[in-house]
Amino acid sequence: MPPRPKPKRILLKLSGEAFLGDQQFGIDDKVVSRYAAEIAGVARNGTEVAVVIGGGNIFRGLAIAAKGGDRVTGDHMGMLATVMNALALEAALVREGMEARALSAIEMPSVCETYVHRLAAGHMRRKIIVVLAGGTGNPFFTTDSGAALRALELECDALLKGTQVDGVYSADPRRDANATRYEHVTYHEAIVRGLAVMDTAAFALARDNGLPIIVFNIHEPGALARIVAGDAVGTLVSD
């Protein structure tokens, strides 16, 4: 079993669904505030933090394509949904007393900063939490792929994927009581076994660049702080 990293600079990937709480649609501010408190806690202890957010709580581009619509248009609409989530998290972090910046891969300067690698990296060096929206700015790429890309661009020590379950399983544990949780899997195993916690492109990008991925339950209080401390939380995906 490989040792767990003690990352000093992390990229946290949150799905849009994580912002739903008990709602069917939209943003539950109480849930967002709880995530902000967890993120602020590790940032105050010196960890440099970037966050990538999905938009599935508001809109999914694939929903348009599934009904015969234009995938490119749908994906652009989904990117706009991630900007709304990023602004909500930025505001929650500010309420926690943290300095935070929302940056979008799609230019909208009257709303938030435009993502530029050096700008985002400079913010992180100054201990400003960066909240990254708009995916990669291109259709056909998921926010998982965007998270892996941004983690590498920003020279993060690990990519942390917050999910609804406590790691990577052999099957969906919410549907299969016999599903097995893995403490560690290699990138190759994750791809070959079709472990759908992240898309194949994200796993491949992380594999080719030696970026560790830790998959954990975002709803578990204190999990983020324990991961940064090097505790064996969730599932490690690495060589």
DSSP the chain: -PPPP--SEEEEEE-GGGG-TT-SSS--HHHHHHHHHHHHHHHHTT-EEEEEE--TTT--HHHHHHTT--HHHHHHHHHHHHHHHHHHHHHHHHHTT--EEEEESS--TTTSEEP-HHHHHHHHHTT-EEEEESTTSSTT--HHHHHHHHHHHTT-SEEEEEESSSSEESS-TTT-TTPPEESEEEHHHHHHTT-TTS-HHHHHHHHHHT--EEEEETTSTTHHHHHHTT---SEEEE-
Angle at 173 between CA 150 and CA 218, to 5 degrees: 40
Note the maximum CA span of the chain.
50
Neighbours of 111 (CB within 10 A): 14
pLDDT at position 61: 66
Rounded CA Rg of the chain: 17
Q: Which residues contact 209 (CB under 8 A, 6 or more apart)?
A: 152
Cα distance between residue 231 and residue 225, in whole Å: 9
pLDDT at position 117: 95
pTM: 0.94
pLDDT at position 98: 98
Ordered per-residue pLDDT tens for the chain, 239 residues: 789 999 999 999 999 999 998 888 999 999 999 999 999 999 999 999 999 999 999 987 667 667 777 889 989 999 999 999 999 999 999 999 999 999 999 999 999 999 999 999 999 999 999 999 999 999 999 999 999 999 999 999 999 999 988 999 988 888 888 888 999 999 999 999 888 789 899 999 999 999 999 999 999 999 999 999 999 999 999 98
* Fold of the CATH domain 9-238: Carbamate kinase (3.40.1160)
pLDDT at position 154: 98
